[in-house]
Amino acid sequence: MKKSDKIAAAAAAGALLLTGGLTAAANAGTSQAAAQAAVPAPAAVPAVDIPQAPETVVAQNRISVGASSHAVSAALAKCQADKLPFVTVALVDRFGTVQALLRGDNAAEHTIEAAKQKAYTAAAFGAPTSELAKRINGNGPSIADLPGTLFLAGGVPLKVNGVSVAGIGVGGAPDGTLDEACATAGADAIAALAAGPAK
């Protein structure tokens, strides 16, 4: 057999192997696709429309975005008037979700968390954090160990018909009573909005 015939035979054998490999791969892909198609798709879970009723749905009050914005602005304005521009003011719902947050000029990063935690603590317990701080005593575990809470003065609850629905907190002043005065100014601003224009 001539050398050229040997090369041609080897090339033909190689082409045959390649074609066989491609065919096998294609068949495997087809078999896999067929197997996947044979598996039924999971049925969609239907949405259940629950009727609004006292037995099934809890109605919740929230502070509106406009009132929240007004409150944090009023609280920061009070702090600025008191020469405390380095504070942060946060308003959260009773679950601790931030509704509005305003960081003052030169307020350090830790004031953001302090304001949020004071606001949440006041909202969750329905009392000013200055009062709650008095309940902390002893060296053992206490409510002060609850995650996300901060039992330092500066958080004020916001209530609707006597029920706590939110909290406003201020962090960053050198004394918690100063923080609380600013938070109270924010709460008062919401109360003034609800009362309407003075007559």
Q: Where are the beta strands (DSSP E) in 94-149?
A: 98-103
- Residue bearing tokens 């601790």: 96
The whole-angstrom separation of Cα 69 and Cα 58 is 26
User: Which secondary structure element, helix H or strand E, spans residue 168, and what is its range?
Assistant: strand 163-171
* Range from 42-51, 67-76, 118-127 carrying the lowest mean pLDDT: 42-51
Greater model confidence, 23 or 63: 63
Query: Are the CB atoms for 76 and 182 separated by under 8 Å?
Result: yes
Task: Give residue 18's pLDDT band: very low, low, confident or very high (50, 70, 90).
Answer: very low
Going by pLDDT thresholds of 50, 70 and 90, the confidence category of residue 37 is: low
Task: Please check whether residue 52 is in contact with residue 160, taking contact to mean a CB–CB distance below 8 angstroms.
Answer: no
Cα 79 from Cα 124, distance rounded (Å): 24
* pLDDT score recorded for residue 15: 45
User: How long, in residues, is the chain?
Assistant: 199
| Type of residue at 150 | L
Q: How far, in Å, are 56, 148, 187 from residue 145 at the CA level?
A: 33, 9, 27
Domain boundaries, the chain: 1-38, 65-195
Q: Supply the pLDDT for residue 17.
A: 44
Rounded Cα gap, residues 34 and 44, in angstroms:
22
Please tell me the distance from the alpha carbon of residue 79 to that of residue 88, in angstroms, as a whole number.
10
Quote the pLDDT of residue 45. 76
Average pLDDT on 100-127 reads 97
Half-sphere exposure (CA, 13 Å, Cβ side) for 157? 21
Give the pLDDT confidence score for residue 159 in this predicted structure: 96
Model confidence, pTM: 0.73
pLDDT of residue 101: 98
The pLDDT tens digits for 114-142 are 999 999 999 999 999 999 999 887 777 78
| Most confidently predicted of 4-18, 38-52, 109-123 | 109-123
pLDDT tens, position by position, 162-187: 999 999 999 999 999 999 999 999 99
Quick check: 88 and 104 in contact, CB under 8 A? yes
Provide the greatest CA pair distance for the chain: 117
Pick the CATH number of 65-195 from 3.30.450.150, 1.10.1060.10, 1.10.10.10, 3.40.920.10: 3.30.450.150
